[in-house]
């Protein structure tokens, strides 16, 4: 893929991620959004490097003030309980994009599962630290695991399977 095409796809990924933020079920403090679907699907289709650039661009645009995160935007967003999920989104591109290069359904699923582990790993840890040490709400780990992982996980598994099916159908269309 040439540089111009890669850059265009990265911009598309950034835009899709921004739009997917607003398709949500507002559950506090971790809303259910369409973002995990975009984060899982795009490395499967566009690969690691292109997706990583798009994800980082999204993160930077939100941190400089565009209200494209689930609860707004700006540098102060790092103090939001859900900021760890955004870091997880960016880093999830690594395992997801790595396994997507094999262009097989089972590898899409494996990369996506590892991507979800990264997303939830960063998201839940940050959520726990934020709620307990920044917001001083004294919430135990089991409650944080429930609201930060167990509640959204079934929906994200469905998103993962749909993303893997779509990627499997499109695996040769983008790169031709």
CA–CA distances in Å: residue 87 to residues 2, 46, 107, 141:
27, 20, 23, 20
Query: What's the token pair of residue 127?
Result: 């959520």
Distance from C-alpha of 167 to C-alpha of 122, rounded to nearest angstrom: 25
pLDDT of residue 175: 55
Q: Omega before 29 cis (within 30°)?
A: yes
pLDDT of residue 174: 65
Classify residue 176: in a domain, yes or no.
Answer: no
Classify residue 102: in a domain, yes or no.
Answer: yes
Classify residue 66: in a domain, yes or no.
Answer: yes
Per-residue pLDDT reduced to its tens digit, 130-157: 999 999 998 999 999 999 999 999 999 9
pLDDT at 128 over 70: yes
pLDDT at 176 over 60: no
Classify residue 147: in a domain, yes or no.
Answer: yes
Classify residue 175: in a domain, yes or no.
Answer: no
Classify residue 156: in a domain, yes or no.
Answer: yes
Distance from C-alpha of 39 to C-alpha of 56, rounded to nearest angstrom: 12
Distance from C-alpha of 16 to C-alpha of 23, rounded to nearest angstrom: 11
Per-residue pLDDT reduced to its tens digit, 39-80: 999 999 999 999 999 999 999 999 999 999 999 999 999 999
> Domain containing 61: what range?
3-170
Q: What is the mean pLDDT of the chain?
A: 95
User: How many structural domains comprise the chain?
Assistant: 1
Domain containing residue 93: CATH number: 1.10.1760.20
Describe the crossing of helices 48-63 and 35-46 by its angle, rounded to 10 degrees.
Answer: 140
Provide the whole-model pTM: 0.95
| 104, 63 contact by CB (below 8 A) | no
């Amino acid at each position: 893929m040439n540089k111009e095409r890669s850059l265009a796809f990265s911009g598309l990924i950034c835009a899709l991620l921004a739009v997917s933020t607003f398709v949500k079920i507002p559950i506090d403090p971790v809303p259910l959004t369409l973002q995990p679907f975009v984060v899982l699907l795009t490395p499967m289709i566009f690969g690691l490097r292109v997706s990583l650039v798009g994800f980082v661009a999204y993160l930077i645009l939100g941190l400089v003030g565009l209200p494209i995160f689930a609860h707004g935007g700006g540098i102060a967003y790092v103090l939001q309980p859900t900021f760890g999920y955004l870091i997880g989104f960016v880093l999830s591109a690594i395992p997801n994009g790595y396994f997507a290069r094999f262009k097989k359904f089972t590898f899409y699923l494996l990369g996506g599962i590892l991507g979800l582990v990264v997303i939830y790993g960063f998201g839940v840890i940050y959520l726990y630290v934020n709620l307990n040490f920044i917001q001083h709400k004294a919430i135990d780990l089991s409650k944080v695991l429930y609201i930060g992982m167990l509640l959204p996980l079934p929906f994200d598994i469905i998103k993962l399977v749909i993303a893997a099916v779509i990627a499997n159908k499109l695996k040769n269309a983008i790169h031709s």
